[in-house]
Structures are given as structure tokens and as C-alpha cells.
Copies of this chain bind each other. A is one copy, B any other.
Amino acid sequence: MTDSRNRRAAQAADLRQQRGTPEATVARLPVYLRALTVLAEQGVATASSEQLAAAAGVNSAKLRKDLSYLGSYGTRGVGYDVEYLRYQISREIGLTQDWSVVIVGIGNLGQALANYAGFTTRGFRIAALVDTDPELVGSEIGVHTIENMADLEQLIERHQVSIGVITTPAAEAQNVADRLVRAGVTSILNFAPSVINVPEGVQVRKVDLSIELQILAYHEQRKATVDGAEVPPAMTDPTSKVVEAS
């Protein structure tokens, strides 16, 4: 390993400590990881930023800049070694270790997640499924038995759970979040359609199906009113009278 390579690595490390990896970049690393896995399965050993970017659905400049936050893992004139980069990204994300997950609220969505293979394959271990409903408690989903909500704290402790998934109705989400946090969970994935408040230092990510649809509806509407000759569903605002004339 040359001196200049050392220097570059040191600079990358400095950069990382100064500002850390940008959030937008972190959110794309799993996408790159998936693209690399697909390429690896196809037997591709080396890929240029252009190829990789195409597989990940981004442009190549963005991909190169993203990867540069992790270090200099490519080779000029050649590209990236698929396996090597895959390992580096895995490590950066933290997938070289396993994370225990508890799912709270075993309705339709909770059941679907419990059965979802993609969880288990990527370093996530479902430690427990929990619900309040006495009808559900004790029944089996795959290899898991649904446990009682009253035992939530014990389960978190026993299985060293660090990530909680909330799939309860909206009304219970905040209460569940509070209990998760008190029991030591520091990352929450919230599927309940409500805002939850957590203390500083606890990460929350929100997935909201109906919000996604509403965003699409907004764009649908815009298309309909702009390029079609269609009249908007309701008067847009007072000024539209002027435009419409008649």
C-alpha cells in the first residue's frame, strides 16, 4: 500500500468525522448493495460507476460521490470490484452484525412483515411478535409464537432488541413507542399513520401507505388538469374565473 493511498484514506476518514456521511447518501447505500448483489449473482466481477448506477437507478456522478464518502474503493480506468465494494457497503451500513427486531401489532400488516423473507435474509432477526389481543396471543406465525404485550419490556431485554417495528392502529402508536424507548430500543420503524414523539437520539423512520398514494394522486391530478382539456374537480381559486372566460 502506497503513501498516497494512505493519505487519501486518511482524508476520507477526516471527511467522515467532520460531517459524517450525508443522510441522502445513507439512504441510497442499501440500493447500491442490492444492485451489487444482483450483479454478483450474474457473475459480474467488476462494474463501472456507469453500470452500477444504471442497476441502481441513479446517475453515475451521484453514485461516485456517494461512494467517495466511504473511501476510495474503486480503480481508475477499471471500475469497482463487485465483491469488495459489496463488503465495504455492508460494513458501512452495519450488516456485518445481526440486529434483533420486535414487531408490535400483529394485524394484517404485522403478519405480512413477520412472513416477509427480505427481513431475515439481510442480517435482521425477528426476536418477537407482540400483540394485545388475547385471541392472537399464543398463536403461531411461521416459527414464531405471538407474545403478550405485557411482556414487551422483558422480551426486549432478553433478546437485546434494538429496533422496534410499530404496526398497531394509530391511537396506540405513541404509547408503544414510549414503552419501546423506555425498554432501551433506539430505532423505530413506524407503520402506524400517526406522528410519534421520541427523545433525542432515538431514530424514527415512518412508512405511510396512504401518504404515498396521496402523493401520487397529487401528480395524477396535475397531469389531468395541465395536459388534458379537463376541468379541475373544483374551482381552483378566484383567479381561474379570469382564465376560463367562457
Contacts and interface: CB of A to CB of B under 8 A. Distances in A.
A30 B211 contact: yes
A79 interface: no
A216 B187 contact: yes
A203 B219 contact: yes
A78 to B, nearest CB: 21
Contacts of A94: 217-218, 220-222, 233
A63 to B, nearest CB: 13
A96 B187 contact: no
Interface string A179-200: 0000000111100011101000
A217 B91 contact: no
A35 B195 CA distance: 9
Interface stretch (A5-13, A128-136, A146-154): A5-13
Interface in A99-150: 99, 101, 108-109, 111-113, 115-116, 118-119, 122-124
Query: Which residue of A212, A216, A220 has the most chain B CB atoms within 10 A of its CB atom?
Result: A216
Contact of A237 (B13, B33, B211): B13
A6 B238 contact: yes
Contacts of A208: 30
A interface secondary structure, majority? helix
A62 interface: no
A223 B201 CA distance: 9
A17 to B, nearest CB: 10
Given A116-B209, A234-B96, A215 B26 contact: yes
A94 B208 CA distance: 18
Contacts of A56: 195
A102 to B, nearest CB: 12
* Pairs of residues from A and B, 6 with the lowest C-beta to C-beta distance, nearest first: A94-B221, A57-B195, A108-B112, A187-B216, A112-B112, A30-B214
9 contacts: A13-B236, A30-B210, A33-B214, A35-B195, A113-B209, A118-B193, A122-B213, A189-B212, A205-B212
